[in-house]
Amino acid sequence: MLRQDSLVQPFLFDDLDIRGSIVQINDAWRAMIDQRGYSAAVRAILGELTAVTAIMSANLKQPGRLTFQMQGHGPLSLMVVDCTEALNLRGYAKTDASVAGSTLGEIIGDGRLQLTLDIAGLDQPYQSLVPIEGDTVAAVFEHYLAQSEQQPAALWLVANGDTAAGLFLQKLPDADQRDADGWARVTQLAATVKPDELRNLSPTDVLARLFHEETVRIFAPRPVLHRWPADPEKVKTMLRGLGREEVESVLAAEGVIEIHDDMSNHTYRFDADAVHELFAAPDAPPTQH
């Protein structure tokens, strides 16, 4: 039976000054990719990006909206994952018809990683743009965090069509003073985690299996969501802004107007009756000439 929970489970090695998180996104991940038709390779890479976005959103010092965008010149040309401070996720991948290869480097090619962080009260969002360095999503973010936060981090990520999951560790500034061998020991233990364990075991069971000889403080988990309801009024406003003449010309050419919201994964369809109703509404603007 497929698991229905989606969560980020933070934890801390009190004696070592090392923090971490386990993320397991189940129902929210399946809803996010429903009817997208992604190949197994694209699902895996987008799922890994989704898992790490949830982890980093949950770890923000100041809550905000976090968006990661990977853009390259390969058959997977664009991936975007957006996460609100409530850990409400959405995202999509833009791909060619056929995607060959299995590693990030083979599929996305040379490219760049963009972070956008929108925090309430800021005049404009914070943005960071760096080259994609690494052949896996985990490697890219380990390098990014080492550069941006000046602290080593380690990631183990796994995703398929049912689950996107990951284990995250980060060395805090006083870790070497607490235990000079602590970081090496904990990362070696974490590296023994198996993909099936990350996907199927509870976070507490994963921690017990990996770190049973360490003191681990486990905090309250945070739920991860995919709740982006359809917003037909926004689409209707956009169509009215185009004007009746242009909308009706598209309708005449296509037979139906179909608009897909890639980020939230909703499709809006307008036939002739819907278009007539759209511009017959009392608040509709006059026909443009």
Same domain, 161 and 198: yes
Report, as an integer, the average pLDDT of 81-94. Answer: 96
The predicted-structure confidence for 227-255, as pLDDT tens digits, reads as follows 998 888 888 899 989 888 888 888 888 88
Classify residue 123: in a domain, yes or no.
yes
CATH number of the domain enclosing 122: 3.55.30.10
Q: What's the structural domain count of the chain? A: 2
Q: From CA 81, how far away is CA 57, in angstroms rounded?
A: 11
Report, as an integer, the average pLDDT of 8-23. Answer: 96
Q: From CA 83, how far away is CA 71, in angstroms rounded?
A: 18
Same domain, 35 and 138: yes
The model's confidence at residue 281, banded by pLDDT at 50, 70 and 90, is low
Classify residue 286: in a domain, yes or no.
no
Classify residue 285: in a domain, yes or no.
no
Same domain, 186 and 61: yes
Classify residue 65: in a domain, yes or no.
yes
End-of-domain residue from the set 182, 201, 223: 223
Same domain, 173 and 33: yes
Same domain, 174 and 260: no
Same domain, 210 and 254: no
Q: Look at residue 230 in the predicted model and tell me its pLDDT.
A: 83
Classify residue 287: in a domain, yes or no.
no
Q: Look at residue 143 in the predicted model and tell me its pLDDT.
A: 92
What range defines the domain where residue 202 resides? 6-223
Q: Look at residue 282 in the predicted model and tell me its pLDDT.
A: 58
Classify residue 242: in a domain, yes or no.
yes
The model's confidence at residue 100, banded by pLDDT at 50, 70 and 90, is low
Same domain, 253 and 206: no
Same domain, 247 and 141: no
The predicted-structure confidence for 183-236, as pLDDT tens digits, reads as follows 999 999 999 999 999 999 999 999 999 999 999 999 999 999 999 988 888 888
CATH number of the domain enclosing 265: 3.90.1280.10
Higher pLDDT, 103 or 83: 83
Q: Kindly report the pTM of this predicted structure.
A: 0.89
Same domain, 75 and 192: yes
Classify residue 288: in a domain, yes or no.
no
Same domain, 145 and 59: yes
| Chain center to CA of 246 | 36
Classify residue 1: in a domain, yes or no.
no
Same domain, 135 and 240: no
Q: What's the mean per-residue pLDDT of the chain?
A: 90
Same domain, 70 and 191: yes
